[in-house]
Amino acid sequence: MSAVWCNGQPAGADALAAAALVNYGHFTSLRCVDGAVQGLDLHLARLQEGTRALFASELDPARVRFEARQAWEAAGHRDAWLRLTVFSRAFDFRAPLRSVAPDVLVSVSPASDWTGQPMRVQPVVFRRHRPEIKHVGTFALFDLRRQAMADGWDDAVFVDDARQLIEGSTWNLCLWDGQGFTWPAGPALRGTQERLLQQGLDTLGVSQQVRAVALPELAAFTAAFACNARGLRAIRAVGGQVFAGAPEARTLLDQALAACAWQPL
């Protein structure tokens, strides 16, 4: 069960209705442990950039930190998931260019790790709208994931018309060739977990690159991983390409994430 706050107060029906009915906004999801967050600066920057893009206004990062910590403390979970959603009750789709003040919705729930067997994912031709913004328009993502599961897969991975890999439904993709990591380039939402892992791998001196990867090239890789705010999960197969797996690659990714500092909320 989640506790929900809006602008520093327990969320009332009016705030929840505005967020649900208009469905225009953006968000970030993070894990808070003992009042600290890995990549907090990345999450705050994401929220500021999204607010400028969608509402033509500024979002005070100090306000966000205060309201997020207040909600975390009130929930009483030492280890918690926080979703910070920015919307505006003043936004009017009939006058969308008008600058409006942002509202901040914070939901808090107990944390859980991303567990399960390695995934089999179905390639689907799709590109999300405005991929540079983590916006609330998630229908296509969830629907394509649902369709993939109905077809017997665990999830969907998106490719472009040239069959080049982009991203997963709610995660970024990382590939291992036995020597280093490859992050598929493309019009994807670049996740904070992806950026933390890249920073950590640089700290460890592990080889990595960002480049276009087409589906036929997957035969050159021995392992694949999905990453998002919940953590890491191995990928067993992308379409017909099955990966042998590489425990050493998972160890390196775990070490890379551990090398990233926890920043106080």
| DSSP 3-state of 46 | helix
For residues 112 and 104, give the distance between their C-alpha atoms in angstroms, rounded to a whole number.
24
Average pLDDT over residues 53-64: 98
Q: Where are the alpha helices (DSSP H) in the chain?
A: 13-22, 40-55, 61-75, 139-150, 192-204, 247-258
Note if the pTM is more than 0.85. yes
Backbone angle region of 156, left / alpha / beta, with phi > 0 → left and psi within -120 to 50 → alpha: beta
- Residue 141 neighbours by CB under 8 Å, 6+ apart: 128, 169, 170
For residues 103 and 81, give the distance between their C-alpha atoms in angstroms, rounded to a whole number.
20
Above pLDDT 70, what percent of the chain? 100
DSSP β-bridge partners for residue 173: 226
Length of the chain measured in residues: 265
What is the per-residue pLDDT across 14-32, written as a single tens digit (0 to 9) for each? 999 999 999 999 999 999 9
What is the per-residue pLDDT across 64-119, written as a single tens digit (0 to 9) for each? 999 999 999 999 999 999 999 999 999 999 999 999 999 999 999 999 888 889 99
What is the per-residue pLDDT across 191-223, written as a single tens digit (0 to 9) for each? 999 999 999 999 999 999 999 999 999 999 999
Structural domains in the chain?
A: 3-110 (3.30.470.10), 119-264 (3.20.10.10)
Amino acid at 23: N
For residues 118 and 236, give the distance between their C-alpha atoms in angstroms, rounded to a whole number.
5
Count of other CB atoms within 10 angstroms of residue 113: 11
